[in-house]
Structure 1
Amino acid sequence: MARRPLPTAEEALAILRQRRTRPPVRPPPPAGKNLAPLLKALEEKYGQGPAALKTRWKEIVGETLARRTEPVRIIKGRNGAGGALELRVDGPVASLIQHQAPQITARLDMLLGKGTVTRLRIVQGPLSVPPAPVVTRPRRKPPLDAALERQLTEGLADQPDGGLKDALMKLGRGVLRSEQG
C-alpha cells in the first residue's frame, strides 16, 4: 500500500478552513464558590465541631489538663437536647476530668453556646499528639553556710524587727548565694 504524500501548506490551510475544530475545554468552576454556601449551612446546623475546640482547648481546661486530654467529637443529643463531648484522656486523669466536668461544660457553653454540650463522655486511650514535655525550672541554690548566715544576722541585729528587716535578710541571702555560686 502506497502512502499518499503530505499536503502542501496551501492545501493544509484549505483543509483546516473546511473542517470545524472542537471548542477548547472550559476549566471547571472554582470549588470554593459552590461549596461555601453549603459549608455555611452545615456549620449553622451542626456547629464547628471538635476542630474549633482543639485550637482553644488549652484555654478551656488549662495547660495541665490540655497536655493529657483532647476533644474527639461532639455527639448530638436527640430531639434538640444537649450533646456530649467525647474526650480522649491519658490514664488516671479521667478522675480529674470527672470532678471538673461542671466547670468544663460551663466554659464550653461560653465558647459553643448555651446547652450545646451538657455532659462529657470520657474515653481512656492514647492521645493522637503526645504530651508536650514539662518545662523544668532550675533548682534553687543551696542555703547559706552557717557562718555567712550568722554574719548576716549580726549585721542586721540593730534593725528593728518587722517587714524591713525580713526584706533585708532575704535580699542579703540572695546576694550572698549569687556570690557563692
Structure 2
Amino acid sequence: MRGFEPTVGLLRERIRVAGETRGFAVAKLLTHWHEVVGEEFAKCTRPVKIGYGRDGFGATLTLLTTGAAAPMLMMSRDKIRDRVNACYGYSAISKVVLTQTAPIGFSEGQAQFGAATTVEKPAPSPQVVAQARETAEGVGDDRLRAAIEMLATNVLARTEQRSGGKKGD
C-alpha cells in the first residue's frame, strides 16, 4: 500500500482478537450497540460477554444493566435476543442474561447508562453583571465589547461563587 495506511487496517486484527476473547465474533455488536438493539435498550444496557455452551449451539449474551432497569429488561429479553441475532444473521444467541450493577458500572466511568445530565449554571448576580459591564465599557467594537463582558461575567461569577458571595475575597 502506498502512502498512509488507514488506521482500521492496522488495528483490525487486534480488535478482532480482543473481541473474540470476550466471545464477540461480530465487532459491530460492541461498536454499534445502540443501532443493533435500539435506543430504548441501549440507554440502559451494555454487552459484557458472549459465552458458548459445550454443544456449540446457542450462545449466552451477558448484558450489564442497572438494578432499576432489570425488571423491564427481563420481559424484553426475547426482543433483545432477536435483534442481536439479526446482527449476526443467524440464531447465534439463545439466551440473554442480565448482570446488575450501579449506574456507573464496575468502576468509575466504565459503563455509564443513559444520557449525561446537564447542570444549569445559576444566573450571575446583578452586581456581577454591572461590574462586568463596567469592565467592558471603554471598548469601541460592539462584538468585542460583548465578548469581554461575557468573559468578565463568567470570571466574576466564578470568583463570587468560590468566595461564597462575600465582598473583598
TM-score, normalised via structure 1 length: 0.45
Larger Rg: 1
More helix by share: 1
TM-score by length of 2: 0.48
